[in-house]
Amino acid sequence: MTPMVDLAFLLVTFFMLTTKFAPEEAVVVDTPSSTSEIRLPESHVITIAVDKDKRVFFGMDDDEIKADLLKQVGAKYGVSFTAPQVQAFRGVASSFGTPIEKLPALLNLDSEQRKSVKQEGIPSDSLNNQLIEWIVTAQSLSRKQFGKPAYIAIKGDGNADVPTVKKVISLMQDKNINRFNLITDLETKPVAGN
């Protein structure tokens, strides 16, 4: 039995070390598939999720700049956060869709309660455009911290409507961000010409 146990523990160790838990998603997004085989980079990714109810969610994965991001965006809208709230933001930042005014309330909840909250999406219209604020701040922090801007990944639901996605793209074009990555599922490439 010893060799089997050895192997089992070897595998356990391997999986323990390689596992990166899937970040909690605030929204279920069913991405369409494409034949593109480019993989999403491991880190420095800003994810903008668009779900089928036209809600827009923001997420980013770099722990180092999450606290600064929250403080800077908060300062712009006159919302301040306590230390426990900033701490809680680390878990939330991977994907959230709450206007900044309601963010402190969301951060006060514990993670179980947070899951049951229906988030309304980040405002991204011309009067109250918080989404672009998050993106621009995250980009500049990422540039300062890592020396390069973060990847912008758009994760749209297959049934999301085009105007919302186009609006998000157009907002970023206004800020001179012109390269996007659309997150898709992999599908096998058909042979062209058949």
For 32-57, b/e burial (b = at least 16 CB within 10 A) is eeeeeeeeeeeebbbbbbbbbeebbb
Instruction: Report yes or no: 67 and 27 within 8 Å, Cβ to Cβ.
Output: no
State in angstroms the smallest separation of the CB of 85 from other proteins: 28
| CB nearer other proteins, residue 41 or residue 84 | 41
Backbone angles phi, psi at 167, to 5 degrees: -65, -45
Give the C-alpha separation, 25 to 130, whole Å: 20
| CB nearer other proteins, residue 7 or residue 105 | 7
The closest alpha carbon to 64, from 150, 147, 142, 139, belongs to 142
Q: Give the dihedral sign, CA 172/47/81/26.
A: positive
State in angstroms the smallest separation of the CB of 118 from other proteins: 21
- 23 CA to centre of own chain: 9
| CB nearer other proteins, residue 67 or residue 153 | 153
Using CB under 8 A as the criterion, which residues of the chain lie in contact with other proteins when the complex forms? 1, 4-5, 8-9, 11-12, 15-16, 18-22, 31-42, 50, 153, 156-163, 165-166, 169, 173-174, 176, 178-186, 189-190, 192-194
| CB nearer other proteins, residue 115 or residue 166 | 166
State in angstroms the smallest separation of the CB of 106 from other proteins: 25
| CB nearer other proteins, residue 72 or residue 184 | 184
State in angstroms the smallest separation of the CB of 153 from other proteins: 6
State in angstroms the smallest separation of the CB of 192 from other proteins: 5
| Distant-in-sequence, close-in-space partners of 19: CB < 8 Å, separation ≥ 6 | none
| CB nearer other proteins, residue 108 or residue 173 | 173
State in angstroms the smallest separation of the CB of 179 from other proteins: 5
